[in-house]
Chain A
Amino acid sequence: MTTETLLQRAAELLTPFTKDSARPESNRLDVAISANDLPAAAETLSNADWGYLSAITGMDLAPEADELEALYHFCDKAAVMTLRVRLPRAGRPEIPSISPQIPAAAFFERELGEMLGVTVVGTPDPSRLFLPDDWPEGVYPLRRDFKQEQAAPVETANRPEGGRVGNKFIVPIGPQHPALKEPGHFEFEVDGEVITGARMRLGYVHRGIEKATEERNWIQNLYLLERVCGICSHTHTSVYSQGVEKLAQVETPPRALAIRELVAGLERIHSHLLWLGVAAHEAGFDTLFMYSWRDRETVMNLLEELTGNRVNYSICVLGGVKQDILPEQAASIHQAIGYLEERIRYYLDVVSSDTFFLQRTRGIGTMTLDEAKRFGSLGPTARASGLRRDVRLDSPYGAYTRFPVSIVTDERGDLEARFAVRMKELLVTCSTIRAIVDNLPAGELTTRFPRKIPAGETVSRVEAPRGEVFYFIKSGGGESPTRLKIRTPSLCNWTSVLNKAVGHQLADVPMLIAGMDPCFSCNDRMVTVRGKKDSRSMTWSELREYGIQKYQGRR
């Protein structure tokens, strides 16, 4: 189905609820509905299998209007349909939850609640998501009248960690833990060695970047957004540049777009090899960790040669790229890609044939196609369950029309499939990089770019190594954005991991977490999964007491 027919279908489906509709861009449809119709509209879309909920953006419309606005972005292929709901600004307005219809909405709703002060009625867990424990009640950082002074730390009772909570025995993991390279806090509810529930608290690396973008100008934001995540830094600059270029109606030169795709490909190689090493380390296969990181240095060298930096390449500028690819660099790219391709084939063979390694991956965390859809999975995690979701193909952007990639999917859905999909994806990336280097379009690297961006809104989507990155950018016509919403793929994948952890051994947890390639710095959210059965639980001291009594009794 073409984008046009998809949008027409969405418009037809939503006719009973539509108050007003608009077509801001050729691939977008905005439908204004009232808050009460939201669950029904979500149900209609979900029943008709129209796309997936990609993000919820909350906006404070002050000072122009005394209202808040919640934007529910649904994506299907290249089509983006946005449900717009207006809410009064005074006090804590209420909006009904759509989590019963779309489970993936739960995190987005909690974020909306704490960032803008909206009560989401019926959301499964309205507790704090992003903000620190000592954040005062009633202070919402994304409201226009927020001032730093209001956020002075308040006294908090210490959160219980592990031991007995209610009627469960909880094993806490993190935020500092040997199996985690980044800070995240997990609470696994266990019955013996078997997990019966999982919970997670992030926010240790939440810095408040969305708010910060509003205080910096369009160019300064490029450097800030590059540091959303140091692993997929190029993704964030390219998704941002792409969106701002659309708003400014600037045509980016084809050579620049091709170089962006080239660097994105190299970034994918570095990221997947990094992940392969870390995931192998979690499985206790340190040899593979060291091997893959040794080979990753090849691509790091290449990135340094092309951009001047190993990490945070800073190659994107608004309206183009900073550096060109010289003929002699093309030769070194070919050489390095040749070597990497050979190594990746070897790793693919290792992860799909090593008996000991397969014991840690085969049949572990199996996610069916239906589950992947329901949990809203993205990227290689979704593709390993046979879900064909890849922005590079669904909505080709930049140079992906000229240098297309082929999709790699697997039907098995377990950890083994995720390893295979990522490695095979790299082989595709290698051949795309070769094609780009050989057929680099001639022309300029950059084009003139205005300092002020015309007022408007846009949606920009890019496929990062971990899945779709979604940006919503609103310009008020000034030198800095009015609102910039970032939604990264790791957030969408947490649901699946924590749900799939239930029923597995506690020892599989590091592998399950590593299997989705989590990136904590680009998402800061909290998830709760309700346990299927009620399990007995005790605090440490109770357990000790129980043990002493039991063994004394035996004697």
Chain B
Amino acid sequence: MNITQPHLKKFMERMVTWARVNSPWVIHFNSGSCNGCDIEILATLTPRYDVERFGIKLRGSPRHADVLVCTGPVTRQARERLLRIYEQMPEPKFVVAVGSCGISGGVFQGCYNVIGHIDEVLPVNAFIPGCPPRPEAIIDGIVKLLQHVQQGAPAPLATLPKLQEAV
């Protein structure tokens, strides 16, 4: 069987997308969060919300993960680690920023050890707003991301409206 045959190649691609959409493995990194978002992410994995029914599983190693879920603003000490984790993930990879801090720096805007939002360090595919977002919102965000993946198109980078300078 020659995999370079066009119909076989197309079939294989569909298989891979099917697998990816049905079992996206997630890695979580807190780059300066207050824990509020982190405990809601954990709640999302536990029986009440149970995202494992969508095949979503939290992994310990970035090398096993498809989706990087980041919480918090990016602090100076965490920046290099965040980049390193992202670089260790296999392609294609997706980034989800959870919480207001990941979107704008939130309440920590202007603090001396905070670089800013996650978009300043990594390309982000989905933002989930809230302080912290409810587990339902986190599920909604990830499902929307998966819909893009299912359509076969590369997940678009989410764009943010230009934020006003913090006063």
Contact = CB atoms under 8 A, between A and B. Distances in A.
A174 to B, nearest CB: 9
A206 B113 CA distance: 7
Interface of B: 27-40, 42-43, 46-48, 59-62, 72-73, 75-78, 81, 85, 106-108, 110-114, 131-132, 134
Nearest to A133: B77
Contact of B111 (A134, A183, A207): A207
B30 A182 contact: yes
Given A132-B76, A176-B62, A207-B113, A311 B36 contact: yes
Interface in A218-236: 223-224, 227-231, 233
A227 B62 contact: no
B40 A311 contact: yes
Contact of A207 (B27, B81, B114, B131): B114
A205 B47 contact: no
A230 B132 CA distance: 9
A204 B81 contact: yes
A194 interface: no
Nearest to B62: A176
15 contacts: A132-B113, A134-B76, A146-B112, A176-B29, A183-B30, A205-B78, A206-B75, A207-B113, A212-B111, A293-B48, A297-B43, A300-B43, A310-B134, A519-B35, A520-B30
A153 interface: yes
B77 A211 contact: no
A203 interface: yes
A481 interface: no
Most buried by A among B31, B32, B36, B134: B36
Nearest to A153: B76
Given A141-B113, A207-B108, 11 more contacts: A134-B76, A151-B112, A176-B27, A204-B30, A204-B81, A230-B132, A277-B46, A278-B42, A294-B46, A297-B48, A311-B40
Contacts of A294: 46-48
Interface string A171-205: 00001111101110000000000000000000111
Nearest to B48: A297
B26 to A, nearest CB: 13
Interface in A30-63: none
Given A132-B77, A176-B62, A310-B134, A205 B39 contact: no
Contacts of A203: 75, 77
A133 B29 CA distance: 20
Contacts of B33: 205, 230, 521
B81 A175 contact: yes
B39 A183 contact: no
A418 B47 CA distance: 26
Contact of B47 (A135, A146, A290): A290
A189 B78 CA distance: 24
A208 interface: yes
Contacts of A223: 107
B40 A310 contact: yes
Nearest to B29: A176
A119 interface: no
B87 to A, nearest CB: 12
A208 B81 contact: no
B78 A207 contact: no
List 7 A-B pairs, minimum CB-CB distance, nearest first: A230-B36, A178-B60, A293-B46, A132-B76, A230-B35, A132-B77, A208-B111
A130 B113 CA distance: 10
Nearest to B27: A176
A70 interface: no
Contacts of B72: 205
A306 interface: no
A216 to B, nearest CB: 9
A215 B72 CA distance: 21
Contacts of A300: 43
A274 B43 CA distance: 9
A353 interface: no
Contact of B32 (A151, A205, A274): A205
Contacts of A511: none
Contacts of A132: 75-77, 113
Given A227-B36, A233-B36, A207 B75 contact: yes
Contacts of B73: 207
Contacts of B114: 207-208
A312 interface: yes
A5 B104 CA distance: 52
A176 B31 CA distance: 10
A80 B114 CA distance: 34
A312 B75 contact: no
Contacts of A116: none
Contact of A178 (B32, B39, B61, B113): B61
Most buried by A among B34, B42, B76: B34
Contacts of A277: 46
Contact of A176 (B42, B43, B46, B85): B85
A11 interface: no
